[in-house]
Amino acid sequence: MITNDMIKREFIHRTVGSGFHRISKMQERAAARSYTGGTGYMRSHFASVPLAVEKPGERYALRTLDYTRFLDIKYAKGAAYRSSGRAPLYNRVVWGVLYRNVIPALKYEFTSRTRERIREDLSAINQP
C-alpha cells in the first residue's frame, strides 16, 4: 500500500538528492577549472557526490571538505596574490542551488501530477 506520506518522502528525497548532485557537479567543474595542480584529492572528492541519507525524506548531509568554504573567498597577501573568487566552490554554489532550485521545487512543484507519477514509480517497484 502506497501512502501519501511515502509519496511526500520520495518527492523530498528526489528533489534534495538532485540538488545535492547538482551542487557536487558544479563544485567538481569549478575545481577542475581553477585548481589544476596539487594531488587532485579535492576534484576526486567532488566527483564522488558524497551524499548521506539517514532515512529518505528526513535528514540529509552533504559532506564537503572543510577548506572549500574558504577557497571561494578572494584574498591577497604580499606579492603572492591569489584570486580564487572565480571558483565558486562553497557559498555561492551551495546556497545558490538550495535557494534558487531546491526550496522553490519543494514549495511549488508537488502537484497532483507529480504525486501520480511518484505513485506509479513506487507501484512499479513494488510489483513482483
Query: Which residues form the domain of 22?
Result: 4-123
Q: pLDDT per residue over 39-54, tens digit each?
A: 777 777 777 766 777 7
Residue pair 13/128 in contact by the 8 Å Cβ criterion: no
Residue 81 lies in a domain: yes
DSSP-assigned beta bridge partners for residue 76? 81
Q: Is 73 helix (H, G, I), strand (E, B) or coil?
A: coil
Report whether 49 contacts 63 (CB < 8 A): no
Q: Is residue 128 part of a domain?
A: no
H/E run at residue 9: helix 4-34
**pLDDT of 83-98, one tens digit each?**
545 567 777 788 889 9
Structural domain contains residue 54: yes
Tell me how many domains the chain contains.
1
pTM check: above 0.85? no
